[in-house]
Structure 1
């Protein structure tokens, strides 16, 4: 049984470990790298989760399969564009794929964004016929703009996608 809940400040080490595992498991799915994230200090990880938990601009979520954390997603309201939110760090452990964790994480992140005034949610995804791309399309995300390199020096291409509720958002 998959359950979703916000990451609590005291769970920063579990978040760090899961984030690093995601970067190792799917290095082609993220703009960041394991090498870059592994250099962060414990205090940096702790502060990142504490900030998300104490503010109203971020939502960091864990997916659990029974008592085991098996996925995560980060949703952030834009500080510069009213009504816009961004999805980052979406990942599900290979052992939990196909159980609905990705759908549950995305559904809860989108509900939070909408309840916090977002009319548009944006994300980037590695361009491929992948489960991630199919999940985003199933939730109504559509490609926007040109594809760009996943990160500097990468041959992989990333596609920006957007989900808009109501009136289109400029920008």
Structure 2
């Protein structure tokens, strides 16, 4: 099996991002705030604008798209923090290292942007996601918010897990 590569998509590759995003929305609608129907109806200018708001990462093996993730600003009041979001891997590629490659690349992108920390929001009841993030050195913060996706369990929360991108821990060198 060949290696997984992760590359940053440029604005002109909006259609590749759109294709993967729509696949993600169709396959895992419960994991996203947006719906497949809404985003499928969007025009090219919507997708081009979206490409400029955050860094879009595409994981591939032998030029076959396997997964996506995005890295963007946490907010104007915290310019030193980036967040990793929209992480999705095709079901047949899960467990093969694609998600790990996307997280590592996301951390590198954030560090290259001069960010000191990378946030990754996970459901507080999603032990598998918490363990996955922890395996990279992400640690829970006190920052919580209501789940942004539709949930059967009202009151479900997400916790921001943070990864330092430098300093004593070695940050990105370990990723």
TM-score bucket of the superposed structures, by smaller chain: 0.7 to 0.9
> What residue in structure 1 maps to residue 127 of structure 2?
129
Which shifted more, 73-82 or 61-70?
73-82
Is the Cα contact below 8 Å between 1:123 and 1:160 reproduced in 2?
Answer: yes
**1:18 and 2:17 aligned:** no
Shift of 1:146: 6.0
Alpha-carbon distance in 2 for matches of 1:41, 1:123: 29
Tell me if the contact between 1:143 and 1:162 (Cα under 8 Å) persists in the aligned partners.
yes
Query: Do the aligned partners of 1:2 and 1:99 also contact (CA within 8 Å) in 2?
Result: no
Residue in 1 aligned with 2:162? Answer: 162
SS at match of 2:127: coil
**Correspondence list, 1:39-54, <5 A:** 39-49=41-51, 51=52
Q: Distance in 2 between matches of 1:94 and 1:152?
A: 20
CA 1:152–1:133: 2 relative to 1, 3 Å = closer
Give aligned pairs, total. 160
Q: 1:64 is matched with which residue?
A: 60
**5+ residue gaps, structure 2:** 169-175
Structure 1 unmatched ranges of 5 or more:
53-57
What is the CA-CA distance between 1:142 and the residue it aligns to?
A: 1.6
Aligned CA distance change for structure 1 residues 112 and 146 (closer, same or farther; 3 Å): closer
1:94 matched to 2:91: yes
Give the TM-score, by structure 2 length.
Answer: 0.79
Quote the residue 1:76 is aligned against: 72
> Deviation digits for residues 24-66 of structure 1, max 9, x if unmatched?
22223233333443342222012322x25xxxxx321100021
Matches within 5 A, 1:112-127: 112-126=109-123, 127=125
Q: What is the deviation of 1:99?
A: 1.6
| Equivalent pair of 1:72/1:105 in contact (CA under 8 Å) | yes
